[in-house]
Structure 1
Amino acid sequence: MNDSKKILFLFENCKKKNKKRLDEGTVNSVKWLENSGKEFVSVGDDKTIINWNIDEDEANRNILPKTNLFTLPQVCMSFSWCPGQQFAALGTTDGSLLFYNSSQGKITKQIESAHLGAVICVQWNKDGSALVTGGEDGVIKQWSRTGNLRSRLVAVSHLIYDIDWSPSDHAVVYCFEKYVAIQPIQGHNKPIKWKAHASAVLALDWNAQNQLIVTGGEDCCYRVWDEYGRMLYSSSTFSFPCTSVGWAPNGKYFAVGSHNLLLFCDRLGWIYNQLDIEMGSIMSVQWSRTNMDIIAGAGNGQLCVGTVTGKCIKHKQWEITQASPCELHVANVLESETAMGQENNENGNILHFNAPVVDFLCAQFHLIALTSAMSCQFYDLKNLDAPAQTITSPSNNYITLILATQTCAFFCFFIFFF
């Protein structure tokens, strides 16, 4: 049998948060805590930064409020954690730029009139050395980590809806009216601008792994672009505008939010799954660093969390399916029954893990499974009784990529940490 691969993803275990916030306005932004896969924060029209915790019970997958971190003086439109630090930048409706320190639980700096009108979007670069903000005044500004203004990068006649850094941090991509533009931070390269949608471009995201940009528009469709502004995919027209988009960190798939609709798409734009959920317009989405969990905040004040499951790959005569976050089903399609493995049933073998499996692949008759506990387990597909080898990431490091040879007579792998 030829070595082939089939990928299927599903959203499961999606639950709305409890309804005590339903009448308190829109959730404008949701962000995962940097070093946690179970906690995230939300900001919205209620002028509050709230820390949420995902219940440990995977069967119920409830979202529980943990702490009201801080009450803001104004409505927060945008929120961004500084990478590797315990503080965040917030943009408010009165044009102020706030720096919030989570360890101290207070606003450490407030820059009034950072923009004329609301600060709609804020984004740190990859190493946290620079911050860019976009406002209702059509201006994009660059700031230092301490909040000092470095430069005015862009000034246009329409408000800036969204902004993101390039994979190299040498440029920023932003959207205004019907257009998407790439502005270099230094003046060596020329800016790039193109018409991206028939109506206003409401959201965008630039992925560091695949170099692709996804946009969502008021024309009720989403599109995928390369870094030169060439369109790779345009979706069909939906019933409502696409109000939010977000890449998974691995660049293999992304999510699109619309009115009562959450789409899950592969890297080229094709829809894996469509989730109809009564939440109003989904204003913000973000993937966890494990690429397995997604959070979304909506216009009616609700939050939801989704888990990717149902991934299926084929290697030789074996088919491996992730039936639940902590289980892999391994089946030999050439045999009606098999006697190997931990458990045997009509569907094959079931491998249980102590933590959710965030990625897995097959090569040279071996199964490699990576868990959220930063444990990489190697199984011989011909003997699944126990892992042939287990490798654990050093403390405070996260495995981001696993590669395996498929043409050599031996098996090797590469693991990258950050």
Structure 2
Amino acid sequence: MTATLKHSDAITVDVALGDRAYDIIIGRDMLASLGARVAALRPGARTAIVTDRTVAKHWLEKAEASLAAAGIATARVIVDEGEGAKTYAGLERVSEALIAARIERNDLVIALGGGVVGDLAGFAAAILRRGVDFVQVPTSLLAQVDSSVGGKTGINSPQGKNLLGAFHQPVLVIADTAVLDTLSPRQFRAGYAEVAKYGVLGDEAFFTWLEKNHADLFKGSAAREYAVATSCRAKAAIVSRDERETGERALLNLGHTFGHALEAATGFSDRLFHGEGVAIGMVLAAELSAELGMISGQDAARVQRHLADAGLPTHLQDIAGFAQEGLTDADALMTLMAQDKKVKRGKLTFILLEALGRAVIVPDVEPALVRDFLKEKLARKK
């Protein structure tokens, strides 16, 4: 696949989950179809749009206009931006706003935003009146290829990321690639880490394509729709086989055990976006795989080189304020990793590589080995 790709009609990816199956609609200017699609999916339903302040400035009125044109009543719930919104207090504010908007069990919550909005709105929908359906309209690259698909919703605890939540599948996902034009370069790059992840963990040919074509994806060519659709197909296939992460779905967490610990160490702040943490985490996972003799050092270097070429941080030392307490302390990072959701009876489980394009779940990794590995990486000179 090369730069001869052209923008086309909507691409539909099916998430095959039986009576909870739903479509992901991918393409430019798909937001305009929101009202018609909701009306066809749930005739007579009322809606409430949950979004953040920045997204609201760009896309809220267009979403509301589409719903109004289809005769759908809607309310708006605007939240703060960033991971700081995914708290007990943030969940309470959204839940109470949905109740005040009189959203009933046969109505719909619409999550218009990035991963934070999707996680927060989806969790509120999951617990509102013991379960209200919701629609994902992801407005970041990261959300379009990852967090909007698969039904993981939740909030953060002061002790770790996404430790409170529920599996609650959306009934529809609309991924309008045109909305990505308003992202900052840093936000787009952070989302790209999750795109690259699908190649690293399960599709070496896609990774090779990204090495050659990622610049076109960044420019907004039809390579963008191809990459989003390929990523969504990869995730949908895994989710359909392992909805609740009892096995294979854990592979999607490549880079996340390290990455989530780094996000916690930086206070879930804009010092480190989620995708940036994943990028560093993927490099660490590849390097740990090489240290364990699972892949070659050349393959680990290839992962690092491509992410760096895409403008992502790839080393711990790339994190803003690296020298601050918590980031230079291997034991502190180990404590944060011990809160990872893949930990079982206190044993660390990592997603590592046995080849570029083939990730595996490795349980019972010796903590002392990981601690020594981290100390070595923390001492690395840029």
**TM-score, L = length of structure 2:** 0.25
Q: Which has the higher contact order (CA 8 A, sep 6+)?
A: 2
Structure having the higher strand fraction is: 1
Q: Name the larger-Rg structure.
A: 1
Structure having the higher helix fraction is: 2
**TM-score, L = length of structure 1:** 0.23
